Structure formats: structure tokens, C-alpha cells
Structure 1
Amino acid sequence: MASLFRAYNALLIRRPMLAQCGTAALLFGTGDIIAQQLIEKKGLRRHDLTRTVRLTFYGGALFGPVMTWWYQFLNRIQFASPTRAIVYRVWLDQAVLTPFAVGAFFTCMSVLEGVPQEAYPRIQAAYVPTILRNWGVFIPTQIINFALVPHHMRFVVVSVVSLFWSTCSLSLHGQLLTRR
């Protein structure tokens, strides 16, 4: 197990885009499987494989690249003190990126499902509750992340927390689909 972690850590340093896109794809897909099987209790026969594939694609092809770029951008910004670095990075992450990312998620899912006209109603229904829950989870996560975690591992920390976050969000998204 230690050698697997070392290999993954080396890949994060050598090929961050590849490693982080793969991580995001794996965790978004896993989060959807957990949401459908453990939270929504669909069972294998009713499991929406297309939804899982769609979310795996979203994680690896859209979320992963954007977040890789975002963390590289945040890491390049110089601040006057370590405390200011934490405060401003958390603020940028949660006040600038998060509002965009939440809207983009609902929009992308609607487009990938072939119902782009549903994007706006979904955003109207779920945007504010999603943002508020996100801030409750990710502001403390990002404070710890930016204070204690080496920069090349920050995406991994967020990805692991996102596994649990996305499981809950995907369950909410699944409930929105069921109401249609």
C-alpha cells in the first residue's frame, strides 16, 4: 500500500493533470454509485449506469482539468504572510470558484442528459441550498487544506472530501431528476 501511495504521489508531481483528472473521474463515479446504491437504494437492476458514466466523464473531463488549473493558479499567487495566504485562498476558492462551479455542475448535467432547457429550473431549485451546504463543508476543509497540506496534495484532499460531498449532492441531483 505504501508503494502505491508513493507511485501516486510521484504521478501527482510529474503529471498533475493526468493524476488529478483520473482521481476526479474515479471519485465522481464512485460517489454516484454510493449515492444510487446506499442513499437512493436503487439496487443493481435499477442502477442508472448512464448517470454514473455521465458523472465519471464530468469528473475526469471537466471538473478535474478546471480544478487542476485552479490549484496551480492559487499556488502561484504570493501573499504577504502565511495567514493571509490561507484567508485569501479560501476566500478566492469559496467566493469566486464555488458559485461558478455549482452553476456549471447543474448546467453541465442538464446538457449531458440531453435536456439543456432543464438547467435553469434545476439551478433555481438547488443552487442556494447547494452553495450553503458546500460552504459548511468546504470552508473548514480548505482552511485545513491550505494551512497544512503540501500544494501538490491539496486536490487529493478536496477530492476525498468531495467523494462524500458529491454523494450527497448527487443524491439531491437524483431527487431533482425523479421529480421531473
Structure 2
Amino acid sequence: MSRLLHAFNASLIKRPMVTQCATSFVLFATGDILAQQAFEKKGSNHDFARSARVAFYGGAIFGPILTKWLQLLNRLQFTSPTKAVAYKVYLDQFVFTPGVVAMFFGSMTLLEGKTVNDAKVRISEAYVPTLIRNWGVFIPTQIVNFALVPTHLRFVTIGVVSLFWNAYLSSVNAKKQAQISPAYTPEHEKKIAEVA
């Protein structure tokens, strides 16, 4: 186990983009599996296509964006460690995260084969409560992350906390997906008209 952790740590330093995207792929997939099996109790009715979509989002969309974002934050210089933590948490949670939450719901809707209008509806319904819950989880996480965790391990810290957060996101997205299925067409059309 120690050798594996050492190899992973070395890979984070030498190949951060590939390692962090692969890590994000695995953590998003695991989060969805956790959501379906532990929270939604799907058992043998597991939606493998959903898990694949979530994993793809984690590895191909979120992973690269978060990697570049953390690299940008790490390059910023501040006059004191306290200011560095305060500004980085502020930028992460109030500049970066609002866009990422919308991107998650929008991307997942489009990956399900639905329309841009469907994505607008899902974002309008899920965005605010998800963002508020995100702040409750990730503001404290990022304070600790930026204050105490070595730079190359910050992605991993986010990933570990995100394992449960991703399970939550996946469940919320699945509920919103069910609400805009064909069975909900009249209400769905009304919501599209309101958003458009």
C-alpha cells in the first residue's frame, strides 16, 4: 500500500493532468455507484449508462478544468498565508464553483441526449439548492485544503470529499432527469417556456 501511495504521489507531481483526470474519472464513477447502490437502493437495476456519463464528466470535463484552476490558484501570490487562504477560498467558491455547478447539470443533461432547453430547466431547478449545499461542504474543506495540504495533493483532498458530494450530485441529477422524462411532458413544456 505504501508503494502504491508513493507511486501515486510521484505521478501527481510528474503528470498532474493525466493523474488528476484519471482520479476524477474513478471518483465520479464511484460516487455514482455509491448514489445508486447505497442511497437509491437500485441493486441489480443499476444504471450503467448513468455511471458511464458521470465518470466521463469527471475525467474528461471536470478533471482538466479543476486541474488548471488549481494550478492558477497556486500561482497567485499574497502578502500573508491568511490572505492567501481567504482569497483562494473566495475565488474557488464564489467565482469558480457557481459555473461548475451549472456546467455539471448542463453537461449531464446533454450527455443524456436531451436538449439545451432541457438543460436550462434542470439548471434552473437544481442550481441554487445545490450551490448552497456545496458551500456548506466545500468552504470548510477548502479552508483546510489551502491552509494545510501540500499543493500537489489539493486535488486529492477535493476528490476524497467529492466522493460523497458526487453521490449527492448524481442523485439530484437523477431526480431532475426523471422529472423531465416524457411522462412529465406538460409540466416540462411549461418550464421550458418559463426559462426560454
* Alpha-carbon distance in 1 for matches of 2:169, 2:52: 16
* Alpha-carbon distance in 2 for matches of 1:58, 1:169: 12
AA aligned to 1:171 is S
Q: Which residue in 1 is equivalent to 2:15?
A: 15
How many aligned positions are there? 179
SS at match of 1:176: helix
* Alpha-carbon distance in 1 for matches of 2:104, 2:3: 35
Q: Which residue in 2 is equivalent to 1:95?
A: 94
* Alpha-carbon distance in 1 for matches of 2:132, 2:155: 21
* Alpha-carbon distance in 2 for matches of 1:119, 1:41: 26
1:178 is displaced (CA, Å) by 2.1
The 5 Å alignment of 1:1-180 reads 1-44=1-44, 46-116=45-115, 117-180=117-180
Does the 8 Å contact 2:54/2:170 carry over to 1?
Answer: no
1:177 is displaced (CA, Å) by 1.6
SS at match of 1:79: coil
* Alpha-carbon distance in 2 for matches of 1:52, 1:166: 11
Structure 1 residue ranges without an equivalent (≥5): none
User: Structure 1 runs of 4+ off > 4 angstroms?
Assistant: none
Post-superposition CA distance 1:53-109 (Å, at most 9, x none): 111110000000000000000000001110000000000000100000000001101
Post-superposition CA distance 1:125-160 (Å, at most 9, x none): 110000000000000000000000000000000011
* Alpha-carbon distance in 2 for matches of 1:55, 1:169: 10
Structure 2 residue ranges without an equivalent (≥5): 181-196
1:174 is displaced (CA, Å) by 1.1
Q: Which residue in 1 is equivalent to 2:185?
A: none
**RMSD over aligned Cα, in angstroms?**
0.7
* Alpha-carbon distance in 2 for matches of 1:105, 1:4: 31
Using the size of structure 1 for normalisation, the TM-score is: 0.98
SS at match of 1:135: helix
* Alpha-carbon distance in 1 for matches of 2:15, 2:169: 29
* Alpha-carbon distance in 1 for matches of 2:160, 2:124: 28
* Alpha-carbon distance in 2 for matches of 1:177, 1:107: 11
1:179 is displaced (CA, Å) by 2.2
Post-superposition CA distance 1:22-73 (Å, at most 9, x none): 00000000000110111111112x1111111111110000000000000000
